[in-house]
Homo-oligomer: A and B are copies of this chain.
Amino acid sequence: MPAERTIEIIPVSGIGEVSRGDDLATLLVENAHLSELDVVVVTQKIVSKAEGRLVASNPLDPTARENLIQRESVRILRRRDELFVTETPHGFICANAGVDWSNVDDGWAAILPADPDRSARRIRDGIKAQTGHNVGVVISDTFGRPWRRGLTDVAIGCAGVAAIVDLRGTTDTKGRELFATEVCVADELAGAAELVMGKSRGVPAAIVRGADESWFRRSSVATEIVRPAGEDLFR
Contact = CB atoms under 8 A, between A and B. Distances in A.
A34 interface: no
Contacts of A178: 102, 199-200
Interface string A180-217: 11111101110110111011111100001011100000
Given A9-B192, A146-B235, A167-B199, 11 more contacts: A6-B9, A7-B192, A93-B146, A106-B174, A149-B182, A152-B184, A152-B187, A185-B195, A191-B192, A195-B211, A196-B210
Nearest to A1: B201
A4 B173 contact: no
Contacts of A210: 196
A180 B151 contact: yes
Nearest to A146: B234
A192 B188 contact: yes
B182 A150 contact: yes
Closest 6 CB pairs of A and B: A150-B184, A192-B192, A146-B234, A188-B191, A78-B233, A93-B147
A61 interface: no
Given A6-B196, A171-B200, A173-B202, A85 B233 contact: yes
A224 interface: yes
A210 to B, nearest CB: 8
Given A170-B199, A235-B147, A142 B181 contact: yes
B154 A4 contact: no
Nearest to A163: B150
Contact of A184 (B146, B148, B199): B148
A10 B5 CA distance: 7
A118 interface: no
Contacts of A199: 167, 170, 172, 178, 181, 183
Contacts of A102: 172, 174, 176, 178-179
Contacts of A148: 154, 184, 187, 225-227
A164 B148 CA distance: 11
A70 interface: no
A38 interface: no
A13 B102 CA distance: 42
Given A152-B188, A199-B178, A4 B13 contact: yes
